[in-house]
Structure 1
Amino acid sequence: MENRNDSQQHADKMKKIKSARDRMNADRQGEKGLIVVHTGPGKGKSSSAFGMVLRAIAHQMPCAVVQFIKGNRDTGERRLLTQHFPDLCQFFTMGEGFTWETQDKDRDIAAARAGWDKARELIRDERNRLVLLDEINIALRYDYLDIAEVCAFMRDEKPEMTHVILTGRNAKPELIEMADLVTEMTLVKHPWRAGIKGQPGIEF
C-alpha cells in the first residue's frame, strides 16, 4: 500500500512538472542564430563545440570551423570532419601553435588576423548555419585581435540565423555580455597533473 502511495505521489508530482514545462515551452516560439561562448579553465570547451558541429551536420546544416592558435596537428575532430563530411563542414586551421611554441608575437598576431579574416568571410556566407571559432578567446586574451571589433562584427554583420561558437579560456567580459549562451568549464581534476600525457581520443 505504501509503495502504491509513493508511486501515485511521484506520478502526481511529475504531472505538475510536465504541465509547468509545457507552459514554459509554449511561451518560447522565437528562433535566432545564437552567439555561444565556451570558456573556463576546465577541459571540454572545444570538445563540446565540436559536438554541436556534429549535431548540426546531422541536421544537414552546413558548418565551418576556424581554428585559432592550434597548429596544423592531426586531430580526431579534424580527421573526422574533413574525411567524412567535407560537403557539410569547411575546416581551416589558421594558427601556428600555442604562443609558447611560436615565441614570435608578430607571427601570432598575423596568424590571428588571417584567422579572423577567414572567420568573417565564413560567417557572412549565409549558407553556413554554424561557424566554430575554436580558441579565438586566446587570441582575444593576448590582444592579437581587438575585442571591440569582434563584438561589433557579431552585433552588426552576423546573419540573423547563423550560430557562432567561440571557445577558449578567459573569455573577455564584453563577449560574455553579448553572448546568448555562455558555459564555463570548471577544472576539478585533470590527468596531466598526475603525470599522464595527452592521449588520442581524449585530448586530440
Structure 2
Amino acid sequence: MQIETPPVHRDTPKPQGERRGLVIVHTGNGKGKSTAAFGLALRAHGRGKKVKVYQFMKVPTARFGEHRLFERLGIPIEGLGDGFSWKSRDLDHSAELARHGWAKAEATIRAGEHFMVVLDEIMYPLRYGWITLDAVLTCLRERPAGVTVVLTGRNAPAELVELADTVTEMTLIKHHFNAGVPAQRGIED
C-alpha cells in the first residue's frame, strides 16, 4: 500500500446550484447495490424525511433483515414481486405483478409526498420487458422537483444512466459464492 499525504485544501469546487431531488442509480455486477440504497433511505429517514421502499423482486410477505429494521423504524417497505425469475412458477404472473408494482411506485413518485423513493431491483423487470423503460424515464423526468428516486439492479439501461444525476457501478472483484460459501443471513438477506 502506498502511503499518501492527506489533502489540506479542497480539490473540487463547492457546488453553487440549488438543492433538488436526484435520480440515483446503483448498478453493476458487484455486491452492495441494494445495501447502498437502503443506506440512503436510512440517512434520509434519520433527517426526518419521508421515505418509501419498493422491492420489485421480493414477495410482499418477505421478512429479510431490511424489512425487520425498516418496520421498527417506521420506513415503509413493500415487496412487489414473487421472487427471482428462476424461482417463479408463472412468469406471466410475475410480469403482471411487476406492472402492478410499477403503477404503485409511479403514483408514489408523482404524488410528491416522499423525499425519497427507492426502486430496488427494478432493472430486472425493465430488462425482461415487464415494465417499459419509456414509462420509467417519463416518470423520472416529470417527477416533482423535491423527489429523489434511487434505482438498483444490474445492467442499468444506457438511457437511464444518461438521465440519472448520480450513477455508481459496483464492480465484482471477489465474491464468497465463488468459494462455495452460501448466502449469509444479515449479509444477503
Q: Same fold (TM over 0.5)?
A: yes
Q: Which residue of 2 aligns with 1:34?
A: 22
Would you say 1:73 and 2:58 are equivalent positions? no
Q: Which residue of 2 aligns with 1:145?
A: 131
Structure 1 residue runs of 4 or more that deviate by more than 3 Å after TM superposition: none
Q: Conserved in 1, the CA contact under 8 Å of 2:110 and 2:139? A: no
The count of aligned residue pairs is 184
Q: TM-score, normalised by structure 1?
A: 0.85
Q: Which residue of 2 aligns with 1:44?
A: 32
Rounded Cα–Cα distance in structure 1 between residues aligned with 2:92 and 2:165: 33
Deviation at 1:30, TM superposition (A): 1.6
Deviation at 1:138, TM superposition (A): 0.9
Rounded Cα–Cα distance in structure 1 between residues aligned with 2:45 and 2:154: 26
Rounded Cα–Cα distance in structure 2 between residues aligned with 1:110 and 1:133: 17
Match of 2:115 among 112, 129, 152: 129
Rounded Cα–Cα distance in structure 1 between residues aligned with 2:17 and 2:96: 42
Looking at secondary structure, tell me which structure has more helix per residue: 1
Q: Which residue of 2 aligns with 1:101?
A: 87
- SS for the counterpart of 1:188 is coil
Q: Which residue of 2 aligns with 1:159?
A: 144
* Letter matched to residue 159 of structure 1: P
Deviation at 1:124, TM superposition (A): 2.0
Rounded Cα–Cα distance in structure 1 between residues aligned with 2:45 and 2:141: 25
Rounded Cα–Cα distance in structure 2 between residues aligned with 1:150 and 1:120: 8
Q: Which has more radius of gyration? A: 1
Deviation at 1:121, TM superposition (A): 1.7
Would you say 1:172 and 2:157 are equivalent positions? yes
Deviation at 1:126, TM superposition (A): 2.1
Q: TM-score, normalised by structure 2?
A: 0.92
Rounded Cα–Cα distance in structure 1 between residues aligned with 2:173 and 2:97: 32
- In structure 1, the gaps of 5 or more residues are 1-9
Rounded Cα–Cα distance in structure 2 between residues aligned with 1:124 and 1:137: 20
- In structure 2, the gaps of 5 or more residues are none
Rounded Cα–Cα distance in structure 2 between residues aligned with 1:29 and 1:109: 40
Rounded Cα–Cα distance in structure 2 between residues aligned with 1:41 and 1:63: 26
Deviation at 1:29, TM superposition (A): 3.5
